[in-house]
A and B are shown apart, each in its own frame.
Chain A
Amino acid sequence: MTPCFLGERAQMRLSRTCAAALVAVTLLAEASNAHAQTGPHFRFGFGWQDMSGDMGEVFDGAVDAEFSIIHPVKAVRVGAGANWVSFPMDDFEESWNQIRFHLLVAYPFQLTERVRPYVEGRWTYRRMRPEDDRFFGGEEELLRDFVVSGSGFEGVLGAQYVLTRAAAIDLAVAANPFSVSPDLSDEGLGEIDSGMAWRVHLGISWFPMNGR
């Protein structure tokens, strides 16, 4: 069963290593039938956020970041989180900061498969402000505090690819019509107060209780 040119000790070690490897391969194969994940989880991710509509005339797309805490309640998942992005402006060397909070309700499908789609509805509340010269190392802080804020509804289509019981890759697309007040005329940008935010997001979901 084992190569005869090996010594007794080497044969023993080789055999035991082979047995352990085979068991490991078996476990990995068995893992393809993924377990359902329950319990609270966190979703971290980065994405690309852009705008259309009136706001889209002013702002360019940018990398955004998002974090959510999600908890299962019967068949759905509820949660809350925040999203951060700095939009560069078309034709200007300035940028606008957007802070967005959200409350979410999600419905997942195929809970025992490796790929698990979900749909998600969110109520969002955003605050947008022109950024000062902080990023350019200015000596004095500009205390001008012009803020526009408003709410909206975001629809999300996403899917999780289960890596282990504790982690999954998360891919999602989202659309978020919104309006803010006051409009941007005080900044010399016209009567712009609404838009549609689009977002593509790639992140990781972490189940700290190991999905139990």
Chain B
Amino acid sequence: MDVTNRSRVVLAVCALVGMLAVTAIPTVAQEGVDLEGASADVVRLPSLFARYADSPAPTLKTDAALTYALAARSARRSDPNDPIAIPSPTAVNPALLTGWSFLEGSPTARPTGLSTGASSRLTSREPVGPLTPQEEEVWTDPWGQEKNFGLAVVEAYLGNFLPWAFNELVPGRAALKISQISPRSWANNISHGWEWDDNAFQVNHFAHPFQGNIYYNAARTNGYGYWTGVLFATVGSYNWECCGETHFMSVNDWYNTAIGGAAVGEMLYRTSSMVLDNQATGTERAWRELGAFALNPVRGFTRLVSGNIARVYENPEHPSDHVPDRLENQMSFGVRQASSERSSGEVSVNEEGEAHGFFDLQMIYGSLLDLERQKPFDFFSLATQINLRQEVGLGKLQIRGNLWHKGLSRTENSVSKLILVQDFDYENNSAFEFGGQGVSMMYLKRTERSERTSFVWNAAATWMIMGGVNSEFSSFADIAGVRERLREYDFGTGFGGRVGFQFLRDGYRWIDGSYRVQHLFTLNGSNFNGRDASHVVQMFRLRGVFPLGFKSFGAGAEYELFLRDSFFEAGDFSKIEQRVPRWQIFLTWNPTRSASN
């Protein structure tokens, strides 16, 4: 007997025994099962279920049976002997359909030639045939992307393989020998455990989060949500730390890549969503896809592989998945100048910075106070600054995105909310370095004074889970293994708070002020050889913008003050204070303006 025939015999015997076993259920055996109406999705429930339908608390353990019992309880019958009409199991519980997920929310149909597009409506450009049950079952995200775990893993893996190949094959990088990986280096790294590294501030607080964005978007652009993206970034980053280079595994890299990668990645995902238009064709479509590819290369690759890059189908229905109802982009060009004063007791060092040009972009995506869905980053704010003729071009990258929110009050003239926010901070200039990632719990309130004016203020308790700030004794940091450079900043963690105030008129943020205080207990850096070190950072900012009355242009000025009080057990200086005042004047352009909060 060959394998196939033996299987058939086994199947037949088991089916027979199974039938006997089922008929052994006493109640069913006595009262029978009538499936006459099954073709119309109506079955006569066996009295087993009818009995449980009258029971206050069904005790059946299996999901399917419980579903039937609950359906039976809700059915209305004029006569106890009438058949009970219940929908099919998949109609009672859509999650029974393959491809549906409790985690990802309600499904939308797939955008194929035979299906319904990202929304339930069909495009006029795609004639469609009748839907088959199998095609209806495919889950897609709002952008019509089916979940594709394999492609997500490939993209995340390429996110490690390509940088490793770059380090191995490019002569200047190869000389660093960080790519000489082997099972020996992996075992060595894993057995040694976590260490801290001495990379430059922009590498640890910008480049690594940008790298994490690749892992994050490998999942995000393949049909998965924010939290799965965080998981991908965490695993992808660990994979790099243990096995992508010969350095000891760096705990600061792992954290910054995973958590920072989620913030940068979701920001870029949302930004590229605003550029994409599934309904566009021809040259416009090509430019849009290219633009989205430039913003989010992983997404471009996914759309290329999946074919969505050239398919004409529906855009997402919800504005927050495409272009939010409220969006503000404010670009500024101007001149700024900063100086720095460091003092300890009677000793002080002054450094006067040169005035230089700058460009910045501030984006307000969505409205915190009008949030409806509990989807991370349905609101985020982005602030970037590019400094000209400076050693470090990217002076600022700040991202704040919602993770959770709860409405507290809403009246005719005011609304208030409690919001859990993910914070990403990066400030790097000739005077100071400050950055890191954390979360904050924020109270936000908006009061309408008239149809044209409103006030918004907020107060937040912050936790910088891991951050960095420049410090005088960081170069003595305890770094294991090969040192590449002398680090100039400490890693730390700590709590803090911030308050903010805005005056809006006709959609313009006329006045925008904020104050923040952040304590950082040093984890690695100036606390070398067991000494304690900590920092208190304060940042004050006041910005005024006045509309010029044409083409959404405006003019403004801003004053910022950075204060750092550092406390050491090392060296001759137990406390060092740094004071960095900055001012800037600029012109603004708001191509899209519907400011709110």
Interface 1/0s, chain B 1-22, versus A by CB < 8 A?
Answer: 0011011001100110110111
B182 at the interface (CB under 8 A from A): yes
- Chain A residue nearest to B179 (CB atoms) is A99
Knowing A15-B25, A30-B11, A32-B3 are in contact, say whether A129-B484 is a contact too (CB < 8 A): no
Contact (Cβ within 8 A) A209 B174 = no
A133-141, A170-178, A192-200: which lies at the interface: A133-141
Contact (Cβ within 8 A) B21 A18 = yes
Question: Quick one: which of A29, A63, A82 contacts B183, CB cutoff 8 A?
Answer: A63
CB-CB contacts below 8 Å: A52-92 with B:
62-65, 69, 82, 84-86
A residues less than 8 Å from B15 (CB atoms): 26
Contact (Cβ within 8 A) A23 B3 = no
Interface 1/0s, chain A 1-33, versus B by CB < 8 A?
Answer: 110000010011101101100110110011011
- Chain A residue nearest to B25 (CB atoms) is A12
Interface 1/0s, chain A 134-175, versus B by CB < 8 A?
Answer: 110111111101010000000000000000000000000000
A120 at the interface (CB under 8 A from B): no
Knowing A1-B20, A95-B184, A208-B153 are in contact, say whether A12-B27 is a contact too (CB < 8 A): yes
A127 at the interface (CB under 8 A from B): yes
B133-141, B475-483, B546-554: which lies at the interface: B475-483
Contact (Cβ within 8 A) A140 B482 = yes
A131 at the interface (CB under 8 A from B): yes
Scoring A32, A84, A138 by chain B CB atoms within 10 A of each residue's CB, the highest score goes to: A84
A183 at the interface (CB under 8 A from B): no
Contact (Cβ within 8 A) A23 B18 = yes
What is the total number of residues of chain B having a CB less than 8 Å from a CB of chain A?
46
A residues less than 8 Å from B62 (CB atoms): 16
A38 at the interface (CB under 8 A from B): no
Contact (Cβ within 8 A) A141 B183 = no
Contact (Cβ within 8 A) A137 B480 = yes
Knowing A62-B184, A135-B188, A147-B174 are in contact, say whether A11-B24 is a contact too (CB < 8 A): yes
Give bound CA distance, A97 to B185, whole Å: 10
CB-CB contacts below 8 Å: A104-125 with B:
none
Give bound CA distance, A138 to B481, whole Å: 6
What is the total number of residues of chain A having a CB less than 8 Å from a CB of chain B?
51
Contact (Cβ within 8 A) B182 A23 = no
A residues less than 8 Å from B484 (CB atoms): 141
A residues less than 8 Å from B21 (CB atoms): 1, 15-16, 18-19, 22
Contact (Cβ within 8 A) A84 B183 = yes
A residues less than 8 Å from B96 (CB atoms): none
- Chain A residue nearest to B59 (CB atoms) is A9
B contact patch SS: helix
A residues less than 8 Å from B14 (CB atoms): 22-23, 25-26
A residues less than 8 Å from B92 (CB atoms): none
A residues less than 8 Å from B181 (CB atoms): 84, 97, 99
Contact (Cβ within 8 A) A29 B11 = yes
B26 at the interface (CB under 8 A from A): yes
B150 at the interface (CB under 8 A from A): yes
Give bound CA distance, A1 to B182, whole Å: 61
B residues less than 8 Å from A8 (CB atoms): 26-27
Give bound CA distance, A11 to B22, whole Å: 11
Give bound CA distance, A123 to B11, whole Å: 47
B573 at the interface (CB under 8 A from A): no
Contact (Cβ within 8 A) B7 A29 = yes
B residues less than 8 Å from A131 (CB atoms): 177, 180
Contact (Cβ within 8 A) B174 A19 = no
- Chain A residue nearest to B189 (CB atoms) is A135
Give bound CA distance, A205 to B15, whole Å: 34
In the complex, what's the smallest C-beta–C-beta distance from B255 to chain A, in angstroms? 23
A50 at the interface (CB under 8 A from B): no
Contact (Cβ within 8 A) A97 B182 = yes
Give bound CA distance, A22 to B10, whole Å: 10
Knowing A95-B184, A135-B185 are in contact, say whether A141-B176 is a contact too (CB < 8 A): yes
Knowing A64-B183, A86-B182, A99-B179 are in contact, say whether A138-B7 is a contact too (CB < 8 A): no
CB-CB contacts below 8 Å: B24-66 with A:
24-27, 61-62
Give bound CA distance, A178 to B138, whole Å: 49
Further contacts, 15 of them, CB under 8 A, given A8-B26, A26-B11, A64-B182: A1-B23, A19-B21, A22-B21, A23-B14, A29-B7, A30-B7, A65-B186, A86-B180, A129-B177, A134-B177, A134-B180, A137-B480, A141-B177, A145-B174, A208-B154
Q: A residues bordering B, Cβ < 8 Å?
A: 1-2, 8, 11-13, 15-16, 18-19, 22-23, 25-26, 29-30, 32-33, 40, 42, 46, 62-65, 69, 82, 84-86, 95, 97-99, 127, 129, 131-132, 134-135, 137-143, 145, 147, 208-209
6 tightest A-B CB contacts, nearest first: A208-B150, A86-B182, A86-B184, A97-B180, A26-B14, A1-B24
Q: B residues bordering A, Cβ < 8 Å?
A: 3-4, 6-7, 10-11, 14-15, 17-18, 20-27, 61-62, 149-151, 153-154, 161, 168, 174-177, 179-186, 188, 246, 480-484
